[in-house]
A and B are shown apart, each in its own frame.
Chain A
C-alpha cells in the first residue's frame, strides 16, 4: 500500500447515492480528492453535505455507488483504517467532566503514533485551559477541543464538518493558521463550511452541493466559471427602477450611464462577484431549475 496509496486519490467517489424512503439526499456524486489536497464542500443546509461526509467517515451506509477512502471502502473498514482518519463532527454536547489535557491524553492512547498532547493543546491555543474541564469551556473553546481530538491521532485524512461555527473572527484566523500547518505537513483535508471566505482561505478546490448533486467543482478561484466573475454594474434609472448589467468594461458602462442620465447615477455600484456571490448565484439558479421542474410536473 505504500506505493499505490500515494498515487491513488485519497478519496474516490463514483455515482454515490443515498435515499431515504424514495427521497434522494445524495443523488449521484462523482468526486476525487487527491492526497495532500484541501477540499471544501459547500452547500446550504439539507443539500446533502453532511450525508456525503458521513458516508466517507463510515458513519452512514450508502444506497449505491462506489466509495474509497484511503483505499478502503468505509462501509467495511476496520480499526486500522480509523486510526488513519481524524474526524471533527458538527457538534458534540458531552457532559465534559474531563479536563482538556485528560481528554486528549486519553484519546491519544487509541492511536498507534499520536501527536504530543501538549503540542496539540498549544496548536489549538488552549494552553491556559489545559487543566479546565471541557464542560466549563465556552462554545468556541469546546470547538477547539473537538479539533484537537480530531488531530491528536496524526491523521492522514482529516474531516472537518463546519469547524469554525461559533468562533470569533480572531479564533477563526488562528484556526486557519492551524489548518495551513496541517496541510503543510501533507494532511489531506475535507472541509464543509458555511463561510465562503473560509473555503477561499483554505481550500485548494471547492465543490458546491445542491439537492444532493455536485453542481460545480473547481479551484476556488474558478468556481462558477469565468462568466460568473464578470463585474456587475448596478444603478437606479430616472423612474427609480434598479438596473443591473454585467460587463467586462464597467468603467465604460458607468460613463455611458452617467452621460445618458446627465449626471451622477443614483445608487451606483460596481460589483466584482465574490465567492459568496457566485455561490449564491449557483444556489439561486438551482432553485429556479427545481422550480421549473416542479411546474413541468404540475
Chain B
C-alpha cells in the first residue's frame, strides 16, 4: 500500500497513510450536518422554529380562555404553560423524525448518498453525524423554547432539580428515539420529491392525537389508546411530568405520570428504529 501511494504522494500535503477513524469522521460530520441544517430554510422553519411559533399562536389565541385546572378547586395553569411540554415533545419529534426522514430521503433522491457511497465514509460515521446534528439542534431548540416561554410569555419554569432530571432523561431518550425513527422512516418515500408529502402527514396526525395541539385528557379514549402505541404520546407525557405541577397527573390516562411506561415505550421505539434503520439503509440499491 505504501509503495503505491508513495509514488504519487507529495510528502508535505499528506497527513498519514492510516485511515481516519470512524468516530473522528463522525464528529466532523456533526459539525458539517449542523451547518447544513441551519443553511436550509425549510428545515429551520418547519422543524426548528415550528414549535416556538405554535406556542406563540396558542398563547396569543387562547390568552382570554382562562386557565386549565386539574380539578374543580385546584390551582390552574395558563394555556401557554399547559402546552409548553407538548411543544417541547413536538420539537423532539420534528427535529428527529420529520427532519431526518425528509433529509435522508432527499439525499437519496438527489445523489448525495450515492456520492458518499463511493467514498470511504463509513455508514456509522454518517449516522453519528445525523444523530449528533439532531441532538445539537434539539438542545438549541429546547433551550430557545424555554427561554422564550420564560421571558416573553411569562411561563414559570420548574425549580426542583427532580423536574429537570426528568426533563433531561425524557429529552435524551426521546431525541435518540426520534432520530432513529427518522432514519427508519426515510426508507418509506419512493423519491426525494415525495419525501415531505409522505412524512409530514404521519408526523402531523401524531401531533394531533398525542396531546401536542389538543389537550390529551379531553380526547376520546379510543384515540388515547391509539396514541399510546406511538412514541410521541409518551414524550409529551414525560415532558408534562417534568413541567406541570404534580396534581395535574390526575388528568393522565391512569391518573399518574407513568414514567416507567414512558421509558419503556421510548426504549421500545428506539429499538424498532435501530432495527429498521439497520435493515433498510443502503447508500444505493445495488441490485437495481
Where the two chains meet, the residues of A that have a C-beta atom closer than 8 Å to any C-beta of B are 1-2, 5-6, 57-61, 79-80, 82-85, 87, 89, 91-95, 97-98, 102, 106-107, 109-116, 119, 133, 149, 153-154, 156, 185-187
Contacts of A80 in B (CB 8 A): 19, 120
How far, in angstroms, from A114 to B36 measured CA to CA in the complex?
Answer: 23
Known: A89-B114, A94-B112. A154 touches B40 (CB 8 A): no
In the complex formed, the residue of A with least CB distance to B3 is: A2
Proximity bits, B4-46, A CB within 8 Å = 1, else 0: 1101111001111111100011001100100110011000000
The reply to whether A154 and B7 contact each other, CB–CB distance below 8 Å, is no
Bound-state CA distance A112–B4 (Å) is 13
Q: Which of B50-58, B249-257, B280-288 has 4 or more CB atoms under 8 Å from chain A?
A: B280-288
Can you show 8 pairs from A to B with CB atoms below 8 A apart? A89-B118, A91-B111, A95-B40, A110-B120, A114-B13, A119-B13, A154-B14, A156-B8
Beta-carbon nearest neighbor of A1 in chain B: B1
A154 to B9: give the CA distance in the assembly, Å. Answer: 8
Least Cβ distance of B273 to chain A in Å?
25
* Docked-complex contact A154 and B8, CB < 8 angstroms: yes
A187 touches B8 (CB 8 A): yes
Within the complex, which residue of B3, B115, B120, B288 is in contact with A149, where a contact is CB–CB below 8 Å? B115
Contact B118 A110 (CB under 8 A): no
A87 contact set on B, CB distance < 8 A: 115, 118-119
Interface magnitude class on chain B? 35 or more
Q: List the B side residues contacting A2 at CB < 8 Å.
A: 1-4
Q: A95-B110, A110-B121, A116-B13 are in contact. Are A186 and B8 (CB under 8 A)?
A: yes
Contact partner, B286, options A6, A60, A89, A112, Cβ 8 Å? A60
For B15, give the chain A residue with the smallest CB separation.
Answer: A113
- Is the Cβ of A97 less than 8 Å from the Cβ of B36? yes
8 Å CB contact of B40 from A97, A156, A187: A97
A154 CB contacts on chain B under 8 angstroms = 5, 8-9, 14
Q: Which of A6, A95, A98, A106 has the most CB of B within 10 A?
A: A95
Q: Is the CB of A186 within 8 A of B7?
A: yes
**A113 near B9 (CB under 8 angstroms)?**
yes
Using known A-B contacts A2-B3, A91-B111, A156-B4, determine if residue A98 contacts B35 with beta carbons closer than 8 Å.
yes
Which chain B positions have C-beta within 8 A of A149?
115
| Contacting pair A111 B25 (CB below 8 A) | no
Q: Which residue of B lies closest to A103 (CB)?
A: B32
Which residues of B lie under 8 Å from residue A92 when comparing CB positions?
110-112, 114-115
Is B120's CB under 8 angstroms from A6's CB? no
Bound complex: CA of A115 vs CA of B12, how far in Å? 10
CA distance A186 to B25 in the complex (A): 29
Complex-state Cα separation, A61 to B13, whole angstroms: 36
Query: Quick one: which of B106, B122, B286 contacts A61, CB cutoff 8 A?
Result: B286
Chain A residues with Cβ below 8 Å from B106 are 95
With contact pairs A5-B4, A110-B25 given, residues A83 and B19 touching in the complex (Cβ less than 8 Å): yes
Tell me how far the C-beta of A135 lies from the nearest C-beta in chain B, rounded to whole angstroms: 9
**With A and B bound together, what is the CA distance between A114 and B9 in angstroms?**
9
Q: Which residues of A contact B16 (CB under 8 A)?
A: 112-113
B118 x A111 contact (CB < 8 A): no
Report chain B residues within 8 Å CB of A91.
111
Chain B hits for A112, CB < 8 A: 5, 15-20
B201 at the interface (CB under 8 A from A): no
A94 partner residues in chain B, CB cutoff 8 A: 107, 110-112, 115
Beyond A112-B5, A113-B15, 9 extra complex contacts between A and B, CB < 8 Å: A82-B120, A83-B120, A89-B114, A92-B111, A92-B112, A94-B107, A95-B110, A97-B36, A112-B16
Closest to B283 in A: A59
Q: Is the CB of B5 within 8 A of A93?
A: no
Q: How far is the CB of A200 from chain B (nearest CB, A)?
A: 26
Contact B110 A93 (CB under 8 A): yes
- Going nearest first, the 7 A-B pairs with the smallest beta carbon separation are A92-B111, A87-B118, A83-B120, A97-B39, A113-B14, A116-B13, A2-B3
Partner of B8, one of A5, A60, A102, A185: A185
* Min CB gap A176→B, angstroms: 20
Q: Across the interface, which residues of B come within 8 angstroms of A110, CB to CB? A: 20, 25, 119-121
Is B158 interfacial (CB 8 A cutoff)? no
**When the two chains form their complex, are residues A107 and B286 in contact, meaning their CB atoms are under 8 A apart?**
no
A59 with B120: in contact, given A6-B4, A95-B40, A113-B15 (CB under 8 Å)?
no
Which one of B2, B13, B112 has the highest number of Cβ atoms from chain A below 10 Å of its Cβ?
B13
Q: Is the CB of B120 within 8 A of A111?
A: yes
Contacts of B118 on A, CB cut-off 8 Å?
A: 57-59, 82, 85, 87, 89
Q: What's the minimum C-beta distance from A129 to chain B, rounded to whole angstroms?
A: 17
Interface string of B162-198 (1 = CB under 8 A from A): 0000000000000000000000000000000000000
CB distance from A133 to the nearest CB of B (A): 8
B24 to chain A, nearest CB (A): 8
**Cβ of B13 and Cβ of A89 under 8 Å apart?**
no
Q: How far is the CA of A102 from the CA of B34 in the complex (A)?
A: 13
Residues of B contacting A186 in the complex (Cβ-Cβ under 8 angstroms): 7-8
Q: Give the distance in Å from the alpha carbon of A95 to the alpha carbon of B192 in the complex.
A: 12
